[in-house]
Amino acid sequence: MRVLWTKARASVSEVVEVLPGERRPAYNTVLTLLRILEQKGYVRHEKPGRAFIYYPIIDRNRARRSAVKRLVSQLFDDSPGLLLMNVLEHDEVDAEELMHLRHMLGEDA
């Protein structure tokens, strides 16, 4: 999805080309993933020439909200607070992020 959000439109080959790392996934692996994303309603494709061109139909923020909602539901008993506490207890959160969280909570300290 990151590739499609960045490029706006891309063929399977273009997605494979820009994926990081020495061991990129195979063309068929990326094609399968794009087809799954299309079935789930995240992307669509068109065929202007020989290759399918895929493009996102939901933006990054909507996808994030959906993923976090699923995560909270499946692993944190529908409690966003439990997720936040888990992150704060087990992950490094820098001072700027903590200030932003305090601001969001109305604790401008």
Q: Cα(91)–Cα(17) distance, rounded to whole angstroms?
A: 32
| pLDDT at 109 (0 to 100) | 52
Supply angle C-alpha 1, 85, 74, rounded to 5.
50
42 shares a domain with 11: yes
Look at the block and give the residue holding tokens 């001072």: 95
Residues 45 and 78 in one domain: no
Is 7 among the domain residues? yes
pLDDT in the model for residue 33? 96
Total domains in the chain come to 2
Q: pLDDT tens track of the chain, all 109 residues? A: 999 999 999 999 999 999 988 888 999 999 999 999 999 999 999 999 899 999 999 999 999 999 999 999 999 999 998 998 898 888 888 889 888 888 888 876 5
Do 44 and 79 lie in one domain? The reply is no
Q: Could you tell me if residue 109 is inside a domain?
A: no
Indicate whether this model's pTM tops 0.85: no
> Which residue range is the domain that position 47 belongs to?
2-56
**Whole-number pLDDT of residue 28:** 96
